[in-house]
């Protein structure tokens, strides 16, 4: 047990830190521009710069354009990226979900076609899983994929799809057998978002920003060679995607919380904190340290055994609730000033937006209720509730 | 960063778990024979020469087993004692407790009492002991009367480091206590049926236990971070130990309370082990400083040192 970086880790961390110090333009530091922050050409250019510098796909196998390094270097990169307040690579869904799923289930042709442009941010991905009638209960998806010759014809609707408004491709979970129920008869496919019959409508969130979208499919056609895995075996492929969503997220989340905490401490120094608020700040700082160590414990288990440790399942659950508490605490420290939006709000209205955005944290990527059930059933071994 | 336990640490844990399950009330000489009393004592002084991390493994297991012996109280002062006293502890001839306030822990079993006075910590000699009735029978409290400073043991400058050791150990003891309470609750709600189903299938029952798991794992992370800081004499040791002790004590208490609730009436009885785990958790939460006081120290570190 050693909480210090090894010489190799320290040198990698130093390399990342130096690169950000030299390469991150001031106007991109802490960059927030509402939902539009994904669209700007500078964000694509920045993502490409990350790729050219070798910071994208750090732990991906080298045969697919990655560096083939241990996940701990990916973790160090994510920590330093957050500390530099650099915008992340725009291909969040591609890097975290579509890419790993294609590596696990894709054909050689699919890997050759999709992976490199995904890393270089030339092509952006979105995810089509949730539907109006299938949220936490994903096995209820009804978007129909009708096989006609060498293509599927799609009809249906997806929702809560981040990045869909700028995406080139979608990883889509469909029901290809209309007589099937639940986990059977599902097919997972790659859909060209620019094809006919695909329509994207942005959804405005409670922050007033539009990060996510509805996607409508009306007789959209998808070639059979775009299926990932086998026809009718989409559930297992979708589980791979969700495993990666919940597996690789931990470090990025902890690093973002670390930045929030730094801002919170600055705010407390600026505005002063009552004894009760000081207690709450100490509690949240303690939680942050605990989350960071827990992320590394899970990583240690992953490297030793090939599977993330059970403690990793609590990271997103705890992070989301911690981020809600931290941002609410910031509002308390600000008093009525917290009501002011940009340009009058203190810190550019940062906390007002962050606190509202945090309410989504316990809903997206697995609600806290679902995550507690996962801990209860898969970690503690309690009987299934349904 | 490598947070894996070594093979030696895993072996120590397995040995401690097995021994304490088979021997609920071991004597100090038995613990010495296992090498636990002198685990951290240098080999040339008759100890095992292990690091604080190996000691910490034993303490977590001792907490889990509600060990009734002055292992924590001795371990707090041990590295600061003169070499011959460390040898006596390693050999099982002596054990220690520190009288920092009027209530002195482990006064029923500790053979020696250390007492701070001015710039020195002394051995207290010629005193009377009185044990007081307390909730946690496995870690009794008492008072000393009369007596006077005997030998000078070590400088009071060591007291902050001693306190960090104490808090880090208590944090891991609390994690051990909470983990056992959670295991009992999980087993019970899997077996107990009502309305025709195991009660653990009801989310009103299972989700509080999932929360307990979550809080305990976070506390475990903090406990090992604090133990590592103490082991390495890291500058963050004091704040890490305070943060860990606050979080772990609260997690252990909350887990025991959820476990009692999950057990229903049987969890509220004297014959069930849960109340003994609960009482140790409450004991730990009460010692040194309340979680709120410890967090005030953390807040001071974060906000007042700029």
Q: What pLDDT, in 10s, does the model give residues A117-168?
A: 999 999 999 999 999 999 999 999 999 999 999 999 999 999 999 999 999 9
| Better-scored residue on pLDDT, A311 or B247 | B247
Is the model's pLDDT at A106 over the cut of 90? Answer: yes
Active site annotation includes A245: yes
Give 3-state DSSP helix, strand, coil % of chain B, rounded to 5.
60, 15, 25
Is the model's pLDDT at A35 over the cut of 60? Answer: no
| Better-scored residue on pLDDT, B153 or A341 | B153
Residue A313 pLDDT grade (very low, low, confident, very high; cuts 50, 70, 90) = confident
Residue B306 pLDDT grade (very low, low, confident, very high; cuts 50, 70, 90) = low
CA distance A68 to B42: 43
Mean pLDDT of B100-123: 97
Is A3 close to B3, i.e. CB distance below 8 A?
Answer: yes
CA distance B173 to B93: 24
Residue A34 pLDDT grade (very low, low, confident, very high; cuts 50, 70, 90) = very low
Residue B24 pLDDT grade (very low, low, confident, very high; cuts 50, 70, 90) = confident
As beta bridge partners, residue A216 has A157, A199
- Please give the sequence-ordered ranges of beta strands (E in DSSP) within chain A, or none if there are none: 125-128, 144-148, 151-162, 169-175, 186-192, 198-203, 212-223, 227-228
pLDDT at A299: 87
CB nearest B209 (choices: A268, A273, A380): A380
pLDDT at A381: 97
Judging contacts by C-beta atoms under 8 Å, the chain A residues touching residue B229 are 3
H helix or E strand, kind and range, residue A236: helix A234-247
| CA of B53 vs chain A CAs: smallest distance (Å) | 8
Judging contacts by C-beta atoms under 8 Å, the chain B residues touching residue A333 are none
Please check whether residue B113 is in contact with residue B143, taking contact to mean a CB–CB distance below 8 angstroms.
Answer: no
pLDDT at A247: 56
Closest residue by Cα to residue B182 from B150, B147, B149, B210: B210
pLDDT tens-digit readout, B144-196: 999 999 999 999 999 999 999 999 999 999 999 999 999 999 999 999 999 99
| Chain B interface disruption, residue of A269, A382, A384, A385, most B CBs within 10 A | A382
pLDDT tens-digit readout, B38-82: 999 999 999 999 999 999 999 999 999 999 999 999 999 999 999
| CA of A256 vs chain B CAs: smallest distance (Å) | 18
- Neighbour-count burial for A13-49, b at 16+ CB within 10 Å, e otherwise: bebbbebbeeebeeebeebeeebebbeeeebbebbbb
pLDDT at A40: 75
CA distance A372 to A370: 5
Is B299 close to A384, i.e. CB distance below 8 A?
Answer: no
Pairing of strands B120-132, B141-155: antiparallel
Residue A33 pLDDT grade (very low, low, confident, very high; cuts 50, 70, 90) = very low
SS3 state at A136: coil
Say what percent of chain B tops pLDDT 70: 100
Mean pLDDT for chain A?
Answer: 93
pTM (2 decimals)? Answer: 0.96
Please check whether residue A337 is in contact with residue A345, taking contact to mean a CB–CB distance below 8 angstroms.
Answer: yes
Is B219 close to A291, i.e. CB distance below 8 A?
Answer: no
Judging contacts by C-beta atoms under 8 Å, the chain B residues touching residue A265 are 302-303
Q: What is the dihedral of CA A84, B247, B229, A17, to 10 degrees?
A: -10
CB nearest A385 (choices: B53, B201, B243): B201
pLDDT at A38: 63
Active site amino acids of B: 288
Mean pLDDT of A229-255: 85
As beta bridge partners, residue A148 has A151
pLDDT at A246: 59
Choose the weakest-confidence range: A6-10, A254-258, B17-21, B211-215.
A254-258
pLDDT at A327: 97
pLDDT at A37: 58
């Amino acid at each position: 047990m050693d909480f210090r970086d090894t010489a190799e880790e320290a040198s990698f961390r130093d390399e990342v830190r130096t690169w950000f110090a030299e390469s991150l333009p001031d106007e991109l530091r802490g960059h927030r521009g509402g939902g539009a922050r994904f669209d700007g050409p500078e964000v694509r250019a920045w993502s490409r710069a990350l790729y050219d510098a070798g910071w994208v796909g750090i732990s991906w196998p080298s045969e697919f354009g990655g560096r083939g390094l241990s996940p701990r270097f990916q973790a160090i990169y994510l920590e330093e990226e957050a500390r530099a307040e650099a915008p992340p690579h725009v291909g969040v869904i591609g890097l975290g979900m579509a890419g790993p799923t294609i590596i696990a289930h894709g054909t050689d042709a699919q890997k050759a076609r999709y992976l490199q442009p995904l890393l270089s941010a030339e092509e952006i991905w979105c995810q089509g899983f949730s539907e109006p009638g299938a949220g936490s209960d994903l096995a209820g998806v009804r978007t129909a994929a009708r096989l006609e010759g060498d293509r599927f014809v799609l009809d249906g609707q997806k929702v809560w799809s981040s990045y869909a408004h700028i995406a080139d491709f979608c990883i889509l979970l469909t029901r290809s057998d209309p007589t099937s129920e639940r986990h059977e008869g599902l097919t997972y496919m790659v859909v060209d978002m620019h094809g006919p019959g695909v329509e994207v409508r942005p959804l405005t969130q409670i922050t007033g920003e539009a990060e996510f979208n509805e996607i409508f499919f009306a007789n959209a056609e998808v070639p059979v060679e775009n299926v990932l895995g086998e026809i009718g075996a989409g559930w297992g492929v979708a589980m791979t995607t969700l495993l990666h969503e919940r597996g690789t997220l931990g470090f990025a989340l902890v690093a973002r919380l670390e930045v929030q905490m730094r801002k919170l401490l600055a705010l407390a120094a600026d505005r002063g904190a009552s004894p009760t608020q000081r207690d709450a700040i100490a509690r949240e700082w303690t939680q942050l340290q605990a989350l960071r160590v827990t992320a590394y414990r899970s990583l240690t288990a992953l490297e030793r055994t090939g599977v993330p440790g059970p403690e990793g399942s609590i990271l997103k659950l705890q992070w989301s609730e911690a981020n809600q508490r931290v941002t609410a605490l910031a509002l308390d420290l600000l008093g009525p000033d917290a009501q002011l939006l940009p340009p009058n709000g203190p810190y550019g209205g940062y906390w007002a937006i962050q606190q509202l955005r945090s309410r989504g944290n316990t809903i997206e990527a697995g609600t806290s209720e679902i995550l507690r059930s996962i801990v209860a059933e898969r970690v503690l071994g309690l009987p299934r509730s349904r | 960063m490598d947070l894996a336990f070594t093979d030696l640490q895993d072996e120590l844990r397995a040995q401690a778990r097995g021994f304490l399950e088979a021997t609920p009330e071991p004597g100090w000489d038995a613990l010495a024979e296992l090498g636990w009393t002198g685990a951290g004592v240098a080999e040339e002084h008759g100890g095992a020469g292990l690091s604080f991390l190996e000691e910490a493994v034993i303490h977590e297991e001792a907490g889990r087993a509600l060990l009734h012996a002055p292992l924590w109280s001795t371990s707090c002062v041990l590295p600061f004692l003169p070499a011959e006293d460390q040898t006596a502890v390693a050999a099982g001839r002596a054990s220690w407790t520190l009288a920092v306030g009027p209530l002195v822990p482990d006064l029923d079993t500790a053979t020696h009492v250390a007492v701070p006075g001015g710039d020195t910590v002394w051995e207290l000699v010629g005193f009377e002991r009185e044990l007081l009735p307390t909730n946690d029978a496995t870690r009794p409290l008492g008072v000393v009367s009369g007596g006077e400073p005997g030998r000078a043991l070590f400088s009071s400058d060591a007291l902050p480091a001693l306190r960090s050791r104490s808090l880090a150990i208590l944090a891991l003891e609390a994690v051990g206590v909470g983990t056992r309470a959670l295991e009992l609750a999980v087993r019970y709600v899997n077996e107990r049926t009502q309305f025709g189903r195991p009660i653990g299938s009801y989310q009103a029952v299972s989700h509080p236990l999932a929360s307990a798991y979550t809080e305990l794992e976070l506390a475990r992370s903090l406990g090992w971070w604090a133990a590592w800081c103490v082991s390495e004499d890291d500058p963050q040791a004091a704040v890490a130990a305070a943060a860990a002790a606050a979080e772990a004590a609260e997690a252990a208490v909350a887990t025991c309370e959820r476990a009692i609730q999950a057990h229903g009436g049987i969890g509220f009885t004297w014959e069930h082990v849960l109340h003994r785990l609960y009482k140790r958790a409450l004991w730990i939460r009460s010692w040194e400083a309340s979680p709120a006081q410890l967090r005030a120290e953390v807040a001071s570190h974060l906000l007042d040192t700029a």
